[in-house]
Structure 1
Amino acid sequence: MGAPDTDPEAVAEAVLDTVASVAPEVRAGLPGRRRYLDGENPSGEDVLAADVYADDLLESAIGALDGVGTYASEERENAVDTGDGPVSVAVDPLDGSSNLRSNNPMGTVVAVYDGALPAGGRDLVAAGFVLYGPVTSMVAGVGAPEETTIREYLVTEDGEREAVDTLDLPNDPTVYGFGGRVPDWPADFAAYVDEVEDELKLRYGGAMIADVSQVLTYGGVFAYPALESAPNGKLRLQFEGNPVAYVLEGAGGRSSTGDGSILDAPATGLHQRVPVHVGNDDLIERLEAALG
């Protein structure tokens, strides 16, 4: 290897290229890895063989890049030191892997931070996701959160990114999807749901990244809110909350913990959870007012 690249955005582009290059191998390995393994991941969730397979592939490929100093995954208790570079990469290797049994979409989420983990959303220099749907696609941006442009790519069988278009959230929202059990929703969030379900179509498939893709495509709102049994919600700030907020805000929408942008949430731990609400500006503004 040569000297580590010290330009975080250049390293981030290399990370996105690498994630795309690994995506066909991740997808090809899914059919034979639908069984659950013994034990749980650091978030207390059951682990599929496919989760571990995707994590190992991504750690090997991303960790080999010049400029990447740290690799962290939802499947690992601790971050892995991979070199002397300035960039830390946080990955959800297979978001929505429980959908594998029912053969529904899932994805890989990646966040590239300029600094050590845990890091705040304003430290992101790139973020995005691969979606394993009828086609394999990538949605991603590079640059500071306030400056990024979000683009969609098709991922070829050879793992190349082919640009499709820039993404802007439609002004006329159409869909909504909310996680958690309805009896577990706090009363203020339930009241907000009562409002928007009269205006929007329900689209919820059990994989965060697939549901977020619906919002990006059609406009609307996705949330995994605070629950009565889990006041911080379910999703992880480093691996899910920050990268999804980066993408939605970069596409012209908003994100919120219920009290301001997810990107401004203080980072206190690698597997820290945070309520996640993303979508069109008006819908998130109304949600914050309802939770106020």
Structure 2
Amino acid sequence: MKRLNTVLKEDGVETDLILLIRTILATSKEIAFRVSQGELAGVLGSTLNENVQGEVQKKLDVIANQLLKDILIDDTLVKSVASEEEDHAVGAHPDGKFIVAFDPLDGSSNIDVNGQIGTIFTIYPARDDVAYDSDEQFKQPGTNQVCAGYVLYGPSSLLVMSTGGPTRCYTLDCTHGGYLLTNKQLNVPKQSREFAVNMANYRYWDEPTQVYFDKLLYTCESFEKSSMRWNAAMVGDVHRILCRGGLFLYPQDKRTGNENGKIRLLYEANPLALLMENAGGSATSRGKRILDIAPSSLHQRVPVAMGSDEPVEFYNSTLA
């Protein structure tokens, strides 16, 4: 099996970007260790604080965020960082080449029940036309990403990443402390009857989305015997779809504050959309390509439908 560094060099990734990726992944190994220790490390439970999203922070959320922020701010290649847990971008080095955004622990509600969680990250080229510590650094479409990936913590810790080419999967070798290539190219099946969605929100969805699920579950023979899989962690649900096919859906709904759903464009939708597309799948928001969206704010939310081409197209056709 090939080591990560070897694969990146063979892919023609520039040295500076390789060094930055290794910095991020060094922190992921520390997070993986903390996750594996659980209650033994005193990292379970909630804090008394809320993040910028209005969500109660878990102890491990805070730890993972601080670990990533500290190591990235110390890296001279980084101009600015943005975290789902921070109100604004944090400046690092005015002459840095890259900016990094991350969700330190996606699926935080699963921490205390030993469920699926993961770290999502994305790297963009830094902008020279705005201040190095400005939120404006991150107002770039997803097509500008030079790297996107996630680390899924579980029975084994997996890295799924793309630097513009294939979406590859690596496994953390705890014996030697490195990521080894275990799937050189993920390919999303064009068809699948599995879907991941929080069906408890059906009552809040708009009529076209309700109609879609009425067809999916009751009237459309093409999707007979469909199966629902829901991990309450986007990173886990999308990983299953990257491996097996299907549809991940988080639409907007009628509740105040959910007019654009709950998925963050910068920290979740864009990096996972890049991985999905580079594995042969589709990633859309209200029927349009996610990676083409011009972001308007650091914590912008978007409704999301991504996965195998057929179910994504079928869902989008019900919105027309």
TM-score where L is the length of structure 1:
0.91
Gaps of 5+ in 1: 1-6
Q: Distance in 2 between matches of 1:12 and 1:273?
A: 28
Would you say the 8 A contact 2:238–2:248 is kept in 1? Answer: yes
Matching of residues 108-119 of structure 1 within 5 Å: 108-115=119-126, 116-119=137-140
Equivalent residue for 2:27, pick from 14, 22, 28: 22
1:101 is paired with a residue whose SS is: helix
Quote the Cα distance in structure 2 between the aligned partners of 1:273 and 1:9.
Answer: 32
Identity of aligned residues (%): 33
Q: 2: CA distance between counterparts of 1:81 and 1:159? A: 30
Equivalence for 1:65 = 75
Does the residue aligned with 1:152 lie in a helix, a strand or coil? strand
1:194 is matched with: 214
Alpha-carbon deviation of 1:163?
0.7
SS at match of 2:288: coil
CA contact (8 A) 2:191 2:310 kept: no
Offset of residue 111 of structure 1:
0.9
Partner deviation per Cα, 1:72-122 (whole Å, 9 max, x = no partner): 100111111111212110000000011011111100000111232132111
Alignment of 1:182 onto 2:187:
no
How has the CA–CA distance of structure 1 residues 225 and 63 changed in structure 2, closer, same or farther, with 3 Å as cutoff?
same
1:152 aligns with 2:169: yes
TM-aligned CA deviation for residue 250 of structure 1: 0.7
Moved more, 156-165 or 94-103: 156-165
Distance 1:290 1:266, change over 3 A: same
Over residues 234-254 of structure 1, what are the superposed CA-to-partner deviations in whole Å (9 max), with x where a residue is unaligned?
011000010111110110001
1:164 equivalent in alignment to 2:182: yes
Q: Structure 1: how far apart are the matches of 2:58 and 2:28?
A: 17
Higher helix share: 2
Aligned to 2:234: 208
| Contact map agreement 1:249 1:255 (CA 8 A) in 2 | yes
Cα pair distance change 1:14/1:225, threshold 3 Å? farther
Secondary structure of the residue that 2:301 maps to in structure 1? coil
1:136 is matched with 157
Q: Return the offset for 1:67.
A: 1.9
Select the residue among 101, 105, 109 that pairs with 1:90. 101
Tell me, in whole angstroms, the C-alpha distance in 2 between the residues paired with 1:224 and 1:199.
Answer: 21
- Do 1:114 and 1:125's aligned partners in 2 also have CA atoms closer than 8 Å? yes
- One-letter code aligned to 2:196: G
Residue 16 of structure 1, CA deviation: 2.8
State the number of aligned residues: 282
Q: 2:245 aligns with which of 219, 222, 230?
A: 219
Using the TM superposition, give the Cα deviation of residue 177 of structure 1 relative to its aligned residue in structure 2, in angstroms: 0.5
C-alpha separation in 2, matches of 1:167 and 1:11:
25
**Could you tell me which of 199, 209, 231 is aligned with 2:259?**
231
Q: Return the match for 1:41 from 51, 67, 71.
A: 51
In structure 2, what is the equivalent of residue 120 of structure 1? 141
Q: CA RMSD in A?
A: 1.8
Q: What's the CA shift for 1:149? A: 1.1
**1-side partners of 2:45 and 2:262: how far apart?**
23
CA apart distance, 1:29? 2.0
Give the structure with higher Rg (CA). Answer: 2
3-state DSSP class of the match of 1:109? strand
**1:156 Cα offset (Å):** 2.2
CA contact (8 A) 2:188 2:279 kept: yes
1:138-164 alpha-carbon deviations (Å, 9 max, x no partner):
000003xxxx21100002225422111
TM-score, normalised by the number of residues in structure 2: 0.83
Letter paired with 1:18 = T
